[in-house]
Amino acid sequence: MAGRVRKMTDTYGRNINYMRISVTDRCNLRCRYCMPEEGLRLGGKGHNNILTLEECARLVQIAAGIGIHKIRLTGGEPLVRRNLVKLIGDIASIAAIDDIAITTNGMLFAPMAAGLQSAGLQRVNFSVDTLEKTKYRYITRQGDIGKLMASLYKALELEMHPVKINMVVIRGFNDDEIMDFVRLAYNYPLHVRFIEFMPVGDLLYWRQDRSLCSREIKAQVQQEYALMPVRAIRGNGPAKYYKLEGGQGSVGFISPLSNHFCGDCNRIRLTAEGKLRACLYDPREIDLKTALQNQASDSELKDLFLSAISLKPEKHSMHSGWGAGNKRKMHQIGG
C-alpha cells in the first residue's frame, strides 16, 4: 500500500504488522475463565487511567509508520466504550491501515453494527463458548444467548466476512457441543475457531484436566466431516483452517498449548491504560500513556514501539503457568 512505510521485523525475523488494542478493561459479562464475578478495574482509577480515543488514534498513526496495518479492537468488551464509532472512523482514515476488526461478546453488537460498519469496521469475531441457553448464562454469569445469536446473524446480513466464532473448548463443560458448532459452520458462511483452554490470568476456573488439545477436537470433527486445508482466511492469525466439504464455512484450530504458533506471531498488544506488550505471556511492557502525558514527540513514541518489539520473546512460557510476574487478568491485557 502507498501509505505503508516499511516492513517491521522483530529479533527473530517475524513480520510485526498487527496490533490488538484493548479500548477498555470493562465488560458487561463476567465469564468464569476471564473475570472475577465482581469485576475488576485497572488500579481502581477508572476512566482517567485509560487511553483517550484521541490518544488511541495517535498511537495507531505511529504504529502505522513502522509497519502495522492490521488493527483489532478488544477489551474487556470494546462496545461498552463510549464513542467507539468515532475511534473506528479515525483509524480508518489512516492510509496504511487496511484491516479493522473487533472481538466482541455480541451483547451490544446488533443495534450498533450498521454504524460500526459505516465508520470503517470490516470484520468481527464473536466469543461464543456454548450454544445452550442455560450453559451460556452459567459461563458468562449474566449473558443472553439470544442477543449473541442476533448479532451473529446481523454480521452475516451485513456481509462482514469472514465472520468468526471463537470457542474456548473446556472439557466437561462444552466439549459435547463441538459438533453443534461444526454444523453451524457447515450451514452458514461462518468460521469457527476451536481454542485450547489456556491458563491465562490464573483464575480459579482453570485446571489442566479441563483442556482438550486441538488434535482431539480435530479427530472428533473428522468422524463426521471431510476437512480440506485452507491456505488463508483474512485475518487468519494463529488458526489452522479447514474447509468443511459441502459446507459454507470452515473450522479452525488454535493450539497455543499443544503446538506453539509463536514462530508465526505477527502481533503486539496495547492495553487499555496504554501499556505496549509484545507477548501475551511476557509481563514486560512499555508505558506509552505516561509518554503521552509527558508530551512525547512522534519520534520518541516510535522509538518506544521499537523497544517493545525488540522485547518480543521467541516463544511463550504457557506450560509454566501464568507466572508470578504476570499480575494482570486477560481482560486487563486485551482479548
Low-confidence ranges of the chain (pLDDT < 70): 1-6, 36-47, 199-206, 236-237, 257-261, 316-335
- Bridge partners of 269, per DSSP, are 20, 277
Q: Can you give the pLDDT at residue 207?
A: 75
Q: Can you give the pLDDT at residue 262?
A: 81
- Please compute, for residue 217, the number of CA atoms within 13 A of its CA located in the half-sphere on the CB side: 31
pLDDT tens digits, 10-47: 998 999 999 999 999 899 998 877 776 665 554 444 56
User: CB neighbours of 306 closer than 8 A, spacing ≥ 6?
Assistant: 66
259 phi, psi to nearest 5 deg: -150, 100
- Look up residue 211 and give its three cell numbers: 483442556
Q: Can you give the pLDDT at residue 43?
A: 45
CB 124 within 8 A of CB 114: no
Q: Which domains does the chain have, with CATH numbers?
A: 18-333 (3.20.20.70)
Q: Can you give the pLDDT at residue 202?
A: 46
Q: Can you give the pLDDT at residue 211?
A: 83
Alpha-carbon distances of 248 from 31, 179, 183, 240, rounded to whole Å = 30, 15, 10, 17
The whole-model pTM stands at 0.89
Q: Can you give the pLDDT at residue 322?
A: 46
Q: Can you give the pLDDT at residue 255?
A: 84
pLDDT tens digits, 44-53: 445 678 999 9
| Number of neighbouring beta carbons within 10 Å of residue 25 | 26
